[in-house]
Amino acid sequence: MRLLLLFLFLAVLGPALSEYGLKLLSEALILGLYAMAFNLLFHQAGLLSFGQAAFFGIGAYTMALLVSRAGWPFLLTLPLALLASGLAAVLIGFLSLRLTRIYFTMLTLAFAQLLYAVAHKWYAFTGGDNGITDLRPHGVLGESLPFYYLVLASFALGVGFLALLERSPFGYALRGLRDNRARAEAVGIGGFRHLLLAFVLSGLLSGLAGALQGALQRSVFPEYLFWTRSAEAILATILGGSGVFLGPAVGAAAFLFLRVLVQSQTEYWPFFLGVVLLLTVLFFPKGLAGVGEEVVRRLKGVRGGVPQS
Amino acid sequence: MELGFYLLQLLTGLAYASTLFLLAVGLSLIFGAMGIVNFAHGSFYMLGAYLLYAFAQGQAQGFWQGLLLVGAAGVVIGALVERLFIRPIYRRPEEYQILLTYALLLILEDLVRFAFGAAYRSFPMPPAFANPLFVLGTPFPSYYLFLVGLAALVAFLLWAFLQRTRLGVWVRAATQDREMLEALGVNVPLLYTTVFAGGIALAALGGAALLPLQAATPGMAVDAVIQAFIVVVIGGLGSVWGALLGAVLIGLLQAFGILLLPEMAMVFPFALMALVLLLRPWGLLGRPPAVRT
């Protein structure tokens, strides 16, 4: 219900925004969707993937190649982008999920970097580091407001789907596997099968985000597959708070807001991002959501006495 | 001629492997002993290159003093960073460690850009290595031989330290069971500071040693840390000999891969890493993780 109100508010907000505001909010929603997809693996399944950029990039490149090489209309490329990133997630997930903890993290990183290296060098197919440019969608979607509504609809569908998933038996199974895999499997939950499905769903949504981002930027570069892009999902999630459902989306918005604010003042944005990240990790490990909870708790006049987990 | 060419390529690969080893061995020990995934490791490698440039004031004559100063500065910086930033997060989950060290990477990159500018900084060849050595009529850059010698020396000293000294035994024990080590009365926090400072100093030395061959840029940290991760994962997290083996494999793969398939040279290291992870996740020379109950 609260989610529906949020989507409605964002829909009403659209016409009130300037071109620039629309572009920025579209980008925030895309990054939000991407971070929420990452958090399905991270929070629900307890898997730290450092290779989400693989699916983000495959989604973006599928869209870009179909639009620029085959002349497809942008909207028709979205199902294909989902399909391609989903297939890649089946393959990468099947191999990576045989490992756990840091080894899983490293293997996902290796696969994403492998794809980055291929996209970077395969000039004939991907355009190499020149990327694929001039990707403005034809017709009405080339304008900011309709495109914003497309992004909002994708965000709403993706996030709504994730919300249903969290409350479904599948969500409970994932959290069970996260908390104690041996016990969960002992009561008959197929660990590998559930984790692979979560991995694929997360990859699908990341691919959708990538395709939308490529259309928003009107270009796709190998950087879409680079590990710093994977780090962005982790960053937005921790900034917002991984333990709260909408935390990653809030973190994504805060991340972009901060970037615009700092970049208008100085070229040393990474430095500020580093400092904010450092302070978040050291002092606010629950992210903005944690800060929010604290504020609410203070306002209600409850002091201390809450056990820290 | 043919043979000379391949020998030169071999030496080039080994020289690259040498700096990779200096970079990666610290990353491996820090993970092995402390359980910290240090994404900022490449940043200290970059910092080492810039510090050599600053200490020697860009002059070839200042190379040796500069190298010593870089080593000393690495120890001090490593100890400070461990005390200030790493110590509060030992007991946190891995993702917080990754994020914190990623934050350090971002901060250090911009600090260097602020202090030295974004342009490339190159350093002249020290006078001692001005002349090549001739083998089979082929000139070999003598600096390559120096790098290989330096890495071999460091590998030997590390081995002697880990196997023959009490502190070394503690470091190895820390990779096995930290709680037990602490229960036996070893000052584990101090041990951690030592390991981290040593690892950082080696990375800084590696970066400085590469400077006469390759100009420094603020962006080199990101490439370096990814290469180091590949080396360490291939060799086995926590293993000195694994880091050496991984570095040599990657160095040779680069040197000869670029001859065979220049297009694919960038892909090989990641493919090798993925292959090793799939077949032997704990690395070629690493130990399978002990089963904890």
> Which run of H or E residues covers position B135?
strand B133-135
Minimum Cα–Cα distance from B95: chain A residue: A48
Most confident residue range from A11-15, A85-89, B272-276:
A85-89
- Judge contact between B101 and B38, C-beta under 8 A: yes
Radius of gyration of chain B, Cα coordinates, nearest whole angstrom: 19
- Judge contact between B230 and B246, C-beta under 8 A: yes
- Judge contact between A252 and A34, C-beta under 8 A: yes
- Checking phi first, is residue B137 left (phi over 0); if not, alpha (psi -120 to 50) or beta? left
Partners of B264 on chain A (C-beta within 8 Å) are 121
* Residue A242 scores a pLDDT above 90: no
- Per DSSP, the residues of A57-97 read HHHHHHHHHHHHTS---HHHHHHHHHHHHHHHHHHHHHHHT
Share of chain B above pLDDT 90, in %: 36
Task: Tokens 């920025």: give the residue.
Answer: A24
Q: Report how many helices (DSSP H) and strands (DSSP E) chain B contains, helices first.
A: 11, 2
Q: What is the pLDDT of residues A164-186, one digit of tens each?
A: 999 999 999 999 998 888 888 88
Pairwise CB contact (< 8 Å): A105 & B109: no
Partners of A251 on chain B (C-beta within 8 Å) are none
Per-residue pLDDT band at B243 (split at 50, 70, 90): very high
For residue B256, count other CB atoms closer than 10 A to its CB. Answer: 17
Query: Distance between CA A201 and CA A44 in Å, rounded?
Result: 12
**pLDDT (average), residues A195-217:** 94
Pairwise CB contact (< 8 Å): B229 & A109: yes
Partners of B282 on chain A (C-beta within 8 Å) are 103
Q: Are strands B138-140 and B133-135 parallel, antiparallel or unpaired?
A: antiparallel
Pairwise CB contact (< 8 Å): A278 & B95: no
Considering only the beta carbons, identify the residue of A120, A274, A282 that sits closest to B266: A120
Partners of A271 on chain B (C-beta within 8 Å) are 106-107, 110-111, 114
Minimum Cα–Cα distance from A111: chain B residue: B274
In whole numbers, what is the pLDDT of chain A averaged over residues? Answer: 87
Which residues in A249-258 are b (16+ Cβ under 10 Å) and which e?
bbbbbbbbee
pLDDT at B292: 44
* Residues forming a β-bridge with A220: A132
* Residue A309 scores a pLDDT above 70: no
Q: Which two tokens stand for residue A123?
A: 């000039």
Pairwise CB contact (< 8 Å): B95 & A101: no
**Which of A61-65, A72-76, B180-184, B287-291 shows the lowest per-residue confidence on average (mean pLDDT)?**
B287-291
> Could you tell me how far CA B81 lies from the centroid of its own chain?
17
Cα–Cα separations (whole angstroms), residue A298 to A43, A280, A293, A304:
26, 20, 9, 9
Interfacial residues of B (vs A; Cβ cutoff 8 Å): 37, 85, 88-89, 92, 94-96, 98-100, 102-107, 109-111, 113-114, 222, 226, 229-230, 233, 237, 263-264, 266-267, 270-271, 273-274, 277-278, 281-282
**Which of A29-33, A55-59, A280-284, A303-307 shows the lowest per-residue confidence on average (mean pLDDT)?**
A303-307
Q: What is the pLDDT of residues A248-286, one digit of tens each?
A: 999 999 999 988 889 888 888 889 989 988 988 888 888
**pLDDT (average), residues B247-274:** 85
Pairwise CB contact (< 8 Å): B110 & A271: yes
Per-residue pLDDT band at B1 (split at 50, 70, 90): low
Per-residue pLDDT band at A308 (split at 50, 70, 90): very low
- φ, ψ for residue B37, nearest 5 deg: -90, 105
ipTM higher than threshold 0.85? no
pLDDT at A302: 58
Interfacial residues of A (vs B; Cβ cutoff 8 Å): 42, 48, 50, 95, 98-99, 101-103, 105-107, 109-111, 113-114, 117-118, 120-122, 227-228, 231, 234-235, 238, 268, 270-271, 273-275, 277-278, 280-282, 285
**pLDDT (average), residues B33-53:** 91
Pairwise CB contact (< 8 Å): A107 & B274: yes
Partners of B112 on chain A (C-beta within 8 Å) are none
pLDDT at A147: 87
Q: What is the pLDDT of residues A3-12, one digit of tens each?
A: 888 888 887 8
Q: Which two tokens stand for residue A122?
A: 């395969």
Q: pTM for the whole thing?
A: 0.84
Per-residue pLDDT band at A304 (split at 50, 70, 90): low
Residues, chain A: 309
Task: Output the CA torsion B145→B149→B150→B155 (10° steps).
Answer: 140
Closest CA to B191 of B215, B167, B222: B167
* Residue B207 scores a pLDDT above 90: yes
**pLDDT (average), residues B226-231:** 90
- φ, ψ for residue B138, nearest 5 deg: -100, 130
In whole numbers, what is the pLDDT of chain B averaged over residues? Answer: 87
Task: Quickly list H helices, B35-62.
Answer: 41-55
**Which of A125-139, B58-72, B156-170, B197-211 shows the lowest per-residue confidence on average (mean pLDDT)?**
A125-139
- Judge contact between B221 and B46, C-beta under 8 A: yes
Q: Which two tokens stand for residue A28?
A: 């925030």
- Judge contact between A207 and A85, C-beta under 8 A: yes
Query: Distance between CA A84 and CA A255 in Å, rounded?
Result: 28
pLDDT at A13: 84
pLDDT at B78: 95
* Residue A307 scores a pLDDT above 90: no
* Residue B150 scores a pLDDT above 90: yes
**pLDDT (average), residues B274-280:** 85
- Per DSSP, the residues of A168-199 read SHHHHHHHHHHH-HHHHHHTT--HHHHHHHHH
Best to test chain B binding among A225, A281, A283, A284 (most B CBs inside 10 Å): A281
Share of chain A above pLDDT 70, in %: 97
Contacts of B154 (CB under 8 A, 6+ apart): B21, B22, B25, B202, B205
pLDDT at B293: 36
DSSP secondary-structure letter at B62?
Answer: G
Partners of B32 on chain A (C-beta within 8 Å) are none
Contacts of B115 (CB under 8 A, 6+ apart): B50
pLDDT at B289: 64
**pLDDT (average), residues B105-125:** 88
